[in-house]
């Protein structure tokens, strides 16, 4: 992109760095003809093949080095190919690739210990899954069992995303999958969201919106009867829905769930591991924010291998101690994934990446706030507790009319992302939103270059939109 400061479309001699795959692993047919890709119509899929990566960059087969401003699916918190994690996987592969969950495994036990330590869930327990969706399904299963309500109600919320399995489609308040799963059949009720920019609770401050959203959950619990409700499942901060709740929301939700004896499940699949400036986003509120269970995935291994987890508080774990656990996953606590998880947690700590995310997240937020001052098409800027922020695009700042009907992505925003990629930076959109979630290891200069490219692209694609 001409005019962008600093970002270069770097080209490297891929074949020199990446030796050719052995011929049996090389595809004979184009991927477009053989693989089903998610969240797209197949005939529209047209993405480059990626052959490698390092730090905040990934490298395409034609040798382009792309700066990853979304950490792929907001999961590569440690960047690509973190050497310590890659090495830990290699060492574990040489020692023991797999042993079933019925047996003990050193990396599994060590990872559980580290998660309990980092979260302060002393005396709690960890159940490992393969990713975020099955972590949420298991958290609900454990909450219901601990409450002695096998089919107890779950209160989740509109504008949320908890996964793409049938049960998690029912938990999610996601327009894309709403038709496919029946919340009532899964005993799920949806609450109104703490979406301050478009508050469903009418006029008021952001903080009032957060408090009203929590009071609304309390009213739903009272309406159904506290004895009918097993759990409340919510994202405390970052999620693909793009809502960042006001600061009043989570502690108030914790209070109402405690008052009614309902278990609070924090879906930290995206918000965990530094993304929101703490190991886990609820920690921002100290003990006043501590959930009863939390679910993890993505940053747990920095996406080097698939892994999810449910962390149970000591009290919930105690209620299950004498109970038969009617669940299992063949790959539950897979040693390779757990070894990657241990190395990932050690890397976050050794490189002080949680504090770094907090610091760079605040700087990124300041830059985005400045852009909000320059581009009327940006209706709202949210986030900034760590390296996670959301820009919401509007057709009219006064009326807050969206640029396109949710969940469609406005064509000009798609074009902006395409030009970003041509200039060597990968941005992520969701509907009217641009989600910024770079790896926590991103070089400061790369971050600022990417933001100045964004500024430039906004000027180019939304030229008349100055406030």
By CB under 6 A, name the binding residues for ligand PLP: 73, 131-133, 136, 161-163, 235, 239-240, 267, 269-270, 297
Smallest separation (angstroms) from ligand PLP to the CB of 176: 12
Smallest separation (angstroms) from ligand PLP to the CB of 163: 4
Q: Between the CA of residue 414 and those of 43, 67, 261, 395, 431, what are the distances in Å?
A: 17, 18, 45, 15, 10
Q: Between the CA of residue 95 and those of 4, 89, 90, 343, 411, what are the distances in Å?
A: 49, 10, 9, 16, 51
State the Cα–Cα distance between residues 10 and 421, nearest whole angstrom: 12
Smallest separation (angstroms) from ligand PLP to the CB of 429: 14
Give the residue with the Cβ less far from ligand PLP, 297 or 347. Answer: 297
Smallest separation (angstroms) from ligand PLP to the CB of 92: 21
Smallest separation (angstroms) from ligand PLP to the CB of 45: 18
Give the residue with the Cβ less far from ligand PLP, 238 or 453. Answer: 238
Smallest separation (angstroms) from ligand PLP to the CB of 168: 7
Smallest separation (angstroms) from ligand PLP to the CB of 98: 20
Residue linked to tokens 């109600």 = 153
State the Cα–Cα distance between residues 434 and 430, nearest whole angstrom: 6
Sequence-separated (6 or more) residues with CB below 8 Å from residue 28: none
Give the residue with the Cβ less far from ligand PLP, 4 or 172. Answer: 172
Give the residue with the Cβ less far from ligand PLP, 391 or 458. Answer: 391
In DSSP terms, which residues pair with 264 in a beta bridge? 232
CB contact at 8 A, 105 and 338: yes
Smallest separation (angstroms) from ligand PLP to the CB of 467: 32
State the Cα–Cα distance between residues 153 and 166, nearest whole angstrom: 16
Give the residue with the Cβ less far from ligand PLP, 274 or 424. Answer: 274
Smallest separation (angstroms) from ligand PLP to the CB of 134: 7
Give the residue with the Cβ less far from ligand PLP, 147 or 301. Answer: 301
Give the residue with the Cβ less far from ligand PLP, 157 or 162. Answer: 162
Smallest separation (angstroms) from ligand PLP to the CB of 412: 25
Q: b/e string for 112-125 if b means 16 or more Cβ within 10 A? A: bebbbebbebeebb
Sequence-separated (6 or more) residues with CB below 8 Å from residue 366: none
In DSSP terms, which residues pair with 265 in a beta bridge? 233, 293
Smallest separation (angstroms) from ligand PLP to the CB of 69: 16
State the Cα–Cα distance between residues 163 and 161, nearest whole angstrom: 6
Among 358, 353, 395, 364, which residue's Cα sits nearest to residue 378? Answer: 395
| The total number of residues written for the chain in this structure | 467
Give the residue with the Cβ less far from ligand PLP, 239 or 386. Answer: 239
Give the residue with the Cβ less far from ligand PLP, 266 or 345. Answer: 266
Give the residue with the Cβ less far from ligand PLP, 298 or 461. Answer: 298
Residue nearest to ligand PLP (CB): 132
Query: Phi then psi for 151, rounded to 5 degrees?
Result: -120, 30
Give the residue with the Cβ less far from ligand PLP, 73 or 175. Answer: 73
Give the residue with the Cβ less far from ligand PLP, 26 or 38. Answer: 38
Smallest separation (angstroms) from ligand PLP to the CB of 136: 6
Tokens of 318: 């105690």
Task: Return the number of other C-beta atoms located less than 10 Å from residue 266's C-beta.
Answer: 30
């Amino acid at each position: 992109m001409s005019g962008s400061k600093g970002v270069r479309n770097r080209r490297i001699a891929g074949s020199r760095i990446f030796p050719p795959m052995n011929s049996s692993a090389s595809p004979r047919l184009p991927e477009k003809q053989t693989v089903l890709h998610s969240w797209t119509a197949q005939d529209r899929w047209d993405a480059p093949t990626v052959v490698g990566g390092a730090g905040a960059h990934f490298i395409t087969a034609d040798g382009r080095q792309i700066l990853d401003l979304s950490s792929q699916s907001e999961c590569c918190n440690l960047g690509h190919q973190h050497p310590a994690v890659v090495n830990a996987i290699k060492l574990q592969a040489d020692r023991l690739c797999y042993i079933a969950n019925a047996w003990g495994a050193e990396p599994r036990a060590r990872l559980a210990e580290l998660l309990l330590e980092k979260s302060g869930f002393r005396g709690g327990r960890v159940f490992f899954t393969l990713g975020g969706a099955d972590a949420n399904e298991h958290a609900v299963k454990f909450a219901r069992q601990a409450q002695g309500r096998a089919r107890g109600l779950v209160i989740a919320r509109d504008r949320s995303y908890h996964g793409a399995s049938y049960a998690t489609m029912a938990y999610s308040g996601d327009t894309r999958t709403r038709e496919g799963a029946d919340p009532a059949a899964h005993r799920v009720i949806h609450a109104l969201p703490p979406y301050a920019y478009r508050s469903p609770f009418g006029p008021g401050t952001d903080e009032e919106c957060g408090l009203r959203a929590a009071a609304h959950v309390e009213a739903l619990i009272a309406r159904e009867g506290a004895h009918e409700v097993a759990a409340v499942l919510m994202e405390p901060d970052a999620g693909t829905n793009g809502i960042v709740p006001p600061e009043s929301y989570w502690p108030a939700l914790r209070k109402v769930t405690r008052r009614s004896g309902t278990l609070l499940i924090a879906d930290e699949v995206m918000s965990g591991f530094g993304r929101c400036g703490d190991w886990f986003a609820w920690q921002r509120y100290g003990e006043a924010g501590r959930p009863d269970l939390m679910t993890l995935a993505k940053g747990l291994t920095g996406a080097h291998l698939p892994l999810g987890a449910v962390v149970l508080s000591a009290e919930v774990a105690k209620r299950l101690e004498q109970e038969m656990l009617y669940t299992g996953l063949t790959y539950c606590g897979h040693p390779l994934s757990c070894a990657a998880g241990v190395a990932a947690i050690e890397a976050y700590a050794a490189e002080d990446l949680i504090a770094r995310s907090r610091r760079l997240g605040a700087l990124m937020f300041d830059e985005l706030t400045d852009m909000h001052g320059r581009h009327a098409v940006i209706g709202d800027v949210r986030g900034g507790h760590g390296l996670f922020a959301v820009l919401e695009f509007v057709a009219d700042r006064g009326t807050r009319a969206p640029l396109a009907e949710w969940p469609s992505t406005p064509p000009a925003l798609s074009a902006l992302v395409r030009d970003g990629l041509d200039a060597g930076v990968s941005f992520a959109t969701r509907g009217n939103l641009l989600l910024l979630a770079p790896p926590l290891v991103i070089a400061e200069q790369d971050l600022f270059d990417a933001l100045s490219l964004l500024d430039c692209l906004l000027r180019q694609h939304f030229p008349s939109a100055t406030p």
